């Protein structure tokens, strides 16, 4: 029975839900994404009540898969775990893609799944499956929580559970997703009950100091990073920055005076050491063939040349891997360290030539590509004929059809530090990685598993979080047509939900042209290849936008693209850009 004098309802489920969510709020976990469902009603109603009090920020999503990725986007932007609430059964399974992405990207995420109590399991009760352990080794903590019975110590237990979950999700050695499977008995809620606001938070603050580190299941790992390595000068070195590497990779490259090979979503694609055309140079014996040492940050995923380099005998590979989890090691010879420091050293002439040639040749290759794409310039003389000819060329440029390089560079140029740029796992992120210059902007892509799942949902989560409290900026998303259609359900933004300033730029080439780059594309029967890989589509994107209440724009020429990217974005907007196959 509840403790004498404590506020309570006729539903222990409601009391437990309020206590748990209140405890999370007191720990600074503010974003909760709720999907509708019966078994989870106590959590949903508690979240709504706490949001009314300003203790939580509530986000409601119809589809659990989209909800999981929406929570992922919130967590990526804030760096704080987001909660996602589901009912039982297939609802929980629909979170698996987002949980896997959070696991491999090391993003803190906390799943609160409602479940039947123990006595209703194993008897084929409706909407009941084995939820504990559903996510396997992808979660840092998995707790099957018994159904509350209204005992006086349950608020303190809820507080301790919240502390354990947050500690596991944000563990600096290996952050990632957590699963709390919450059993609830009927009555599943008492919607008009709001326990005293101090009960949950007080229990959280009083117990958190006594909570020990959570019992987290051990992830499958390669040799864990165990030390800080001082990197001497001497060997011909490159710094490789994969997804999520962050600014530390650029700082290290600058400190060592080494070439920086930074992917577009690395967070390190800027600075004087940057080599944009790294693929071409890695494939060249005079550059890639002379590399003796590679320092790797983040998770490289966008080229074949990087893993080929790291598999080559004689290349010393040092992977900076702060997490006690599997590290990037295509050659299975890497040394893992938690951090690196660069030994102070005055570069020799050979070292300066090494880096200087990488940077100079990369810039020359990029300049040559730009010049090849540009129309011939007409000198502007003083005569009427010269002026007329110049305007003719300018008009032709404005009317020029859009190609992929033009699209990615236009979007890159339109993005500023207060904006967010998101890439889907389509052909376009690779085009951007090959071409866009250095720029210190916030870029994200779900590269943990590089799937097209949940791109729209993730971007909406990023947009909502980055624009909270009136912050400026636009979230621009570059994705292919199939990536949009795979997550079309996430276009649904319910009444009462925030409608952020987000621009989905859809490069529509009628199917999966990324598969055209496969070797088999030149030998497989074209009809079979198209049906099972290219998967052609003719969806009316304008009608899709209208059905979900999004503004729609279309750009078929360079001039219209410029106009569309410079026009104000005041809410959810889709910009369709037809592209050739």
pLDDT at residue 78 in the model: 97
What is the rounded CA–CA span in Å between residue 179 and residue 113?
Answer: 8
pLDDT at residue 387 in the model: 66
Name the DSSP class of 50. H
E strand map for 72-176: 82-86, 109-115, 141-145
Give 264-284 pLDDT, tens digit per residue: 999 999 999 999 999 999 999
Residues 101 and 179 occupy one common structural domain: yes
Task: Read off the pTM.
Answer: 0.89
Domain range enclosing 201: 12-210
In a domain, 5, yes or no: no
List CB contacts of 146: < 8 A, sequence separation 6 or more.
117, 118, 183
CATH of the domain at 279: 3.40.50.1220
What is the rounded CA–CA span in Å between residue 182 and residue 112?
Answer: 7
In a domain, 373, yes or no: no
Residues 161 and 197 occupy one common structural domain: yes
Are 45 and 224 contacting, i.e. CB atoms less than 8 angstroms apart? no
Last residue in a domain, options 210, 239, 271: 210
User: Residue 491: left (phi > 0), alpha (psi -120 to 50), or beta?
Assistant: alpha
Residues of the chain below pLDDT 50? 1-7, 196-225, 376-378
Question: How many C-beta atoms surround the C-beta of residue 301 within 10 A?
Answer: 21
| Residue 546: its H or E element | helix 541-547
Residues 168 and 281 occupy one common structural domain: no
Last residue in a domain, options 308, 327, 361: 361
Question: How many C-beta atoms surround the C-beta of residue 107 within 10 A?
Answer: 26
Placement of tokens 């320092």 in the chain: 295
Residues 157 and 253 occupy one common structural domain: no
Phi, psi (deg, nearest 5) at residue 485: -65, -30
Q: Which two tokens stand for residue 520?
A: 């088999």
Residues 163 and 247 occupy one common structural domain: no
CATH of the domain at 142: 3.40.50.970
List CB contacts of 52: < 8 A, sequence separation 6 or more.
none
Question: How many C-beta atoms surround the C-beta of residue 548 within 10 A?
Answer: 15
| Residue 61: its H or E element | none
Question: How many C-beta atoms surround the C-beta of residue 399 within 10 A?
Answer: 12
Are 563 and 410 contacting, i.e. CB atoms less than 8 angstroms apart? no
Which residues partner with 274 through β-bridges?
260
pLDDT at residue 270 in the model: 97
Task: Give how many domains the chain has, as a whole number.
Answer: 3
């Amino acid at each position: 029975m509840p403790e004498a004098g404590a506020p309570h309802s006729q539903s222990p489920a409601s009391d437990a839900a309020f206590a748990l969510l209140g405890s999370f709020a007191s720990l600074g976990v503010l974003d909760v994404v709720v999907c509708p469902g019966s078994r989870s009603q106590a959590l949903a109603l508690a979240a709504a009540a706490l949001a009314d009090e300003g203790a939580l920020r509530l986000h409601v999503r119809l589809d659990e898969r989209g909800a999981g990725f929406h929570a992922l986007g919130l967590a990526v932007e804030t760096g704080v775990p987001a909660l996602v609430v589901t009912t039982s059964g297939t609802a929980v399974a629909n979170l698996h893609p987002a949980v896997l992405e959070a696991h491999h990207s090391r993003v803190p995420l906390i799943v609160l799944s409602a479940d039947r109590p123990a006595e209703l399991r194993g008897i084929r009760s409706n909407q009941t499956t084995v939820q504990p352990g559903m996510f396997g080794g992808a979660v840092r903590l998995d707790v099957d929580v018994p159904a509350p019975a209204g005992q006086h110590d349950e608020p303190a237990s809820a507080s301790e559970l919240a502390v354990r979950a947050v500690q596991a999700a944000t563990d600096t050695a290996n952050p990632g997703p957590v699963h709390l499977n919450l059993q609830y008995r009927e009555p599943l809620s008492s919607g008009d009950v709001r326990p005293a606001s101090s009960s949950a938070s007080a229990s959280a603050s009083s117990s958190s100091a006594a909570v020990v580190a959570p019992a987290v299941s051990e992830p499958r790992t390669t040799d864990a990073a165990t030390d800080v390595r001082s990197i001497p000068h001497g060997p011909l070195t490159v710094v490789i920055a994969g997804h999520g590497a962050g600014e530390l990779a650029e700082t290290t490259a600058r400190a060592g005076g080494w070439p920086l090979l930074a992917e577009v979503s690395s967070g390190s694609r800027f600075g004087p050491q940057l080599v944009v055309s790294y693929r071409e140079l890695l494939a060249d014996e005079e550059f890639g063939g002379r590399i003796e040492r590679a320092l790797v940050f983040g998770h490289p995923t966008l080229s074949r040349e990087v893993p080929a380099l790291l598999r080559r005998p004689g290349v010393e590979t040092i992977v900076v891997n702060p997490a006690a989890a599997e590290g990037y090691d295509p050659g299975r010879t890497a040394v893992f360290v938690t951090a690196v420091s660069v030994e102070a050293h005055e570069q020799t002439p050979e070292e300066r030539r090494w880096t200087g040639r990488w940077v100079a040749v990369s810039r020359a290759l990029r300049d040559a590509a730009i010049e090849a794409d540009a129309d011939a310039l007409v000198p502007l003389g003083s005569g009427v004929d010269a002026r007329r000819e110049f305007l003719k060329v300018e008009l032709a440029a404005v009317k020029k059809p859009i190609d992929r390089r033009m699209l990615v560079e236009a979007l890159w140029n339109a993005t500023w530090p207060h904006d967010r740029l998101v890439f889907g796992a389509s052909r376009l992120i690779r085009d951007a990685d090959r071409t866009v210059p250095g720029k210190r902007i916030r870029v994200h892509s779900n590269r943990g598993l590089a799937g097209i799942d949940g791109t729209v949902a993730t971007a909406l989560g990023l947009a909502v979080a980055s624009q909270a409290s009136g912050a400026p900026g636009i979230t621009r998303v570059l994705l292919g047509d199939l990536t949009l259609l795979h997550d079309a359900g996430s276009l649904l933004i319910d009444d009462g939900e925030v409608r952020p300033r987000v621009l989905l730029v859809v490069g529509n080439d009628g199917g999966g042209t990324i598969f055209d780059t496969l070797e088999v594309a030149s030998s497989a029967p074209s009809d079979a290849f198209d049906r099972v890989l290219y998967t052609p589509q003719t969806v009316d994107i304008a009608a899709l936008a209208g059905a979900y209440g999004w503004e729609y724009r279309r750009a078929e020429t360079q001039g219209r693209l410029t106009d569309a990217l410079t026009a104000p974005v005041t809410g959810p907007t889709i910009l369709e850009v037809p592209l050739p196959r």
